[in-house]
Amino acid sequence: MDSRKTVLISGGAGYIGSHTAVELINAGYDVVIIDNLSNSEKEAVDGVRKITGKDVAFEIVDTCDKDALRKVFEKYRFDTVIHFAAYKAVGESMAEPLKYYQNNLVSFMNIVEMMKEFNRPNVLFSSSATVYGEAEHLPVTESTPRQPATSPYGNTKQIAEDILRDCCRAYPDLYGIALRYFNPIGAHPSALIGELPRGVPNNLVPFITQTAAGIRECLSVFGNDYDTPDGTCLRDYIDVVDLAKAHVAAVDRMTEGKMKEKYEIFNIGTGNPVSVLELITTFEDVNGLKLPYKMAPRRPGDVTAVWAETTLANEVLGWKAERRLGETLKAAWEWEKKVRGV
């Protein structure tokens, strides 16, 4: 394995990590996946192997366990880590903040510490559009000020970004990129990997696909009295395969020594705002079905609208979202059907 062309993926059995593993392998990288399977199944790694036809190194490791992590660094040579491993449920983070600070921050600090200890240069971090909160101006650019976090989950993203910035500033051999994802949705077109939420989904698209599959009775549209064209919230829904390709572009930039700053931030979205009702209608149209839904009160903590200004990612990373919303929602439904045997 060439260390420059090898990437450690923490949380690589998860939703975004597994899709990213596929795209990295397709682009000629070797990957090493580590995951503690706290929110995923090892079958996702099998899916990556099936799609790519490559044997993928996989270790069950908790990134909070520094000794176990050190063994991974001793065993494999890689220049780059992509750190996905984190808990991500906003509501749960309000009820159990320590669980979130513990897992999301300790795991990230362990990763950065090992990168420093083993002289491995490149850290790519999964951040989130949640850092922008309710922004004054839309679309948001990377220099739009972050708002105080409204959940411990969101706070872990802000703190981890700051940790990475400070470490890149302090340690001469360390480089960092934070990708701020907007709303990742969809699944691999093979339907071999996709999103597998445990319990009742919080996110819109898994709730839609589970409703279409008959697992949920009715979708609630949280608020139709927002100051938006149809009264429902606006978001920037990004196809998970496009999102995965953004990671490849960022890894290329790091490994080819093209970074202009030691720490860089990119918005990863489509740049197009889509309302909840538009998304439902598109899902129905492309999949030829009717979805039971009803209007419901606003969900506490939701922002009215957020979407990305993507010029920086387009021009500097040379990456652009390509898949159309309809294709993405078709893939999401194909994946749900596969999982449920519908």
Residue 85 binds ligand NAD (CB under 6 A)? yes
Q: Which stretch binds ligand NAD (CB under 6 A): 80-88, 250-258, 287-295, 334-342?
A: 80-88
To ligand NAD, the closest distance from the beta carbon of 38 in angstroms equals 4
The structure tokens listed for 57 are 């190194």
Buried b (16+ CB within 10 A) or exposed e, 232-261: bbbbbbbbbbbbbbbbbbbbbbbbeeebee
155 binds, among ligand WQD, ligand NAD, none (CB under 5 to 8 A by kind): none
Q: Which does 80 bind (CB under 5 to 8 A by kind): ligand NAD, ligand WQD, none?
A: none
Q: Contacts with ligand WQD in 131-190 (CB under 6 A)?
A: 183
Active-site residue, 153 included: yes
Choice among 15, 87, 132, 153 that is catalytic: 153
For the segment 167-206, give every residue that binds ligand NAD (CB under 6 A): 181, 184
CA distance 246 to 191: 20
Coil vs helix vs strand at 201: coil
Say how far apart CA 133 and CA 291 lie, in whole Å: 30
Which region among 12-20, 251-259, 287-295, 317-325 touches ligand NAD (by CB under 6 A)?
A: 12-20
Give me the helix-helix angle, 204-212 and 325-340, nearest 10°.
60
Considering only 17, 121, 176, 206, the residue that binds ligand NAD (CB under 6 A) is 17
> Which residue in the set 9, 13, 21, 244 belongs to the binding site for ligand NAD (CB under 6 A)?
13
Output the 3-class SS for 216-249: CCCEEEECCCCCCCCCCCEECEEEHHHHHHHHHH
Look at residues 14, 51, 48 and name the one whose alpha carbon lies nearest to residue 31: 48
Number of residues forming the site for ligand WQD (CB under 6 A)? 18
Of positions 38, 150, 228, 304, contacts ligand NAD by CB under 6 A: 38
Question: What does 302 bind: ligand WQD, ligand NAD, none (CB cut-off 5 to 8 Å by kind)?
Answer: ligand WQD
Cα dihedral: 53, 127, 65, 47 (round 10): -20
Active site residues: 153
